[in-house]
């Protein structure tokens, strides 16, 4: 491997996607650095039961720890900090993070997204402990017929409520006092119900349930609660250097995770598609191989 102060690739984001990409790049004898501030969305997963090869489930942070260890064994470097700025150079890119200026010939963007949660001070901790959920694809199976609440006031919430009927026949959409948007009686069909009253209080009960009390006196005891308030893709850094975004703010890519900017790739939840760890990791592997091949064509062997 060459001793060059310019990295072959900066991976921005240290979630499952970014770490998978870094391992593949390192095993292709590429000099790679992961820039990550340590708050991957995956770290909030109490235990994932749908990730392949873990029949007893795996906590999100435990999976990340194992991937970090694997990456470090292959010499992947790590900058613990947020990427504050990306710049395009003549033959590559510059990333500013934690007061450091890092240059590379390619970038893999794995910055993910942020879920919009209810305006509760303990919302993030409720997600971390499994009381508040954000992904029915991930854990709908574990509901096992229990009553479910979906928080939201849009067709998105209704779509998620309809999806949850695969796991239970007791689903209530609550708007927390917000005016329903496009939720006419024709859209709200039994067994789905609608509660528009403001919330008086909430409290976690048992391992993964919440009790909800509304100002109109409605009580929902020991329900599985999903937030369907949307999400915010973390794509502003990419946009600032000319990467094209879709109408949701996500990054569209080709089948090799290339964007419209040369040698800038995007993977994981920031990309248009299914938000699943297995998908994100596969995209990381694809992008790493594409980056390796593109770098070889542009600059020769590593």
Instruction: Please list the alpha-helical segments (H only) found in the chain.
Output: 16-27, 60-73, 123-128, 136-139, 155-164, 236-240, 277-299
Whether residue 1 has pLDDT greater than 50: no
| pTM confidence score | 0.94
The pLDDT assigned to 189 comes to 76
> Residue 103 forms beta bridges with which residues?
94
Distance CA 148, CA 180 (A): 19
Q: What is the mean pLDDT of residues 145-159?
A: 94
All domains in the chain, ordered by first residue: 7-114+231-295 (3.50.50.60), 117-227 (3.50.50.60)
Indicate the pairing of strand 148-151 with strand 171-174: parallel
Q: Would you give the DSSP letter of residue 40?
A: -
Which pLDDT belongs to residue 207?
78
For 261-284, write each residue's pLDDT tens digit.
999 999 999 998 899 999 999 999
Average pLDDT, the chain: 94
- Give the pLDDT mean for 154-183: 92
Residue 241 is predicted with a pLDDT of 97
> Mean per-residue pLDDT for 206-210?
89
Percent above pLDDT 70 for the chain: 97
Tokens representing residue 119 in the block:
């305006």
- Residue 175, pLDDT score: 94
Which pLDDT does position 2 carry in this prediction? 45
Whole-number Å distance between alpha carbons of 176 and 87: 42
pLDDT band of 194, cuts 50, 70, 90 = very high
d(CA 129, CA 132): 8
Q: What percent of the chain has pLDDT over 90?
A: 89
Lowest mean pLDDT among 59-73, 131-145, 171-185: 171-185
Does residue 4 surpass a pLDDT of 80?
no
Between residues 211 and 189, the one the model is more confident about: 211
| Residues 221-243 pLDDT 10s | 999 999 999 999 999 999 999 99
Query: Helix, strand, coil % (nearest 5) of the chain?
Result: 30, 30, 45
**Residue with tokens 């879709």, as numbered in its chain:** 246
DSSP result, 64-94: HHHHHHHHHHTT-EEEES-EEEEEEETTEEE
SS3 187: coil
CA angle 180, 222, 231 (to 5 degrees): 45
* Interval 14-66: pLDDT, tens: 999 999 999 999 999 999 999 999 999 999 999 999 999 999 999 999 999 99
Predicted confidence (pLDDT) at residue 72 exceeds the cutoff of 50: yes
For residue 213, give every residue at least 6 positions away whose Cβ sits within 8 Å of its Cβ, in sequence order, or none: 199, 200, 201, 202, 219, 220
Alpha-carbon gap, residue 49 to 140, rounded angstroms: 10
pLDDT band at 144 (very low <50, low <70, confident <90, very high): confident
Q: Are 272 and 247 in contact (CB under 8 A)?
A: no
Query: Would you say residue 209 has pLDDT above 60?
Result: yes
Return d(Cα 153, Cα 171) in angstroms, integer. Answer: 14
pLDDT at 22: 98
- DSSP helix/strand/coil, 61: helix
Residue 3 banded pLDDT, cuts 50, 70, 90: very low
């Amino acid at each position: 491997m060459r001793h060059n102060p310019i990295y072959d690739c900066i991976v921005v984001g240290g979630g499952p996607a970014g770490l998978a990409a870094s391992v593949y790049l390192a095993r292709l004898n590429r000099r790679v650095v992961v820039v990550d501030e340590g708050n991957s969305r995956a770290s909030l997963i109490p235990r994932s039961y749908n990730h392949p090869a873990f029949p007893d489930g795996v906590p999100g942070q435990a999976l990340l720890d194992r991937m970090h260890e694997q990456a470090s064994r292959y010499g992947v470097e790590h900058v613990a900090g947020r990427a504050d700025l990306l710049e395009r150079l003549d033959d590559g890119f510059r990333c500013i993070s934690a007061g450091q200026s890092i240059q590379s010939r390619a970038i893999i963007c794995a910055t993910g997204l942020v879920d919009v949660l209810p305006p509760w001070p303990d919302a993030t901790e409720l997600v971390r402990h499994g009381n508040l959920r954000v992904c029915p694809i991930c854990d709908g199976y574990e509901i096992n017929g229990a009553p479910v609440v979906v928080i939201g006031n849009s067709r998105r919430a209704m779509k998620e409520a309809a999806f949850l009927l695969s796991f239970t026949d007791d689903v209530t959409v609550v708007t927390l006092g917000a005016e329903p948007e496009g939720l006419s009686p024709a859209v709200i069909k039994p067994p789905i119900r609608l509660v528009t009253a403001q919330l008086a209080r909430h409290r976690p009960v048992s391992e993964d349930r919440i009790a909800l009390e509304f100002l109109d006196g409605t009580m929902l005891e020991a329900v599985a609660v999903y937030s369907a308030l949307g999400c915010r893709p973390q794509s502003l850094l990419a946009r600032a250097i000319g990467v094209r975004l879709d109408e949701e703010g996500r990054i569209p890519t080709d089948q090799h995770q290339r964007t419209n900017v040369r040698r800038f790739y995007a993977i994981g939840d920031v990309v248009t598609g299914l938000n699943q760890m297995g998908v994100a990791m596969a995209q990381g592997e694809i992008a790493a191989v594409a980056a390796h091949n593109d770098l070889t064509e542009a600059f020769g062997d590593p």
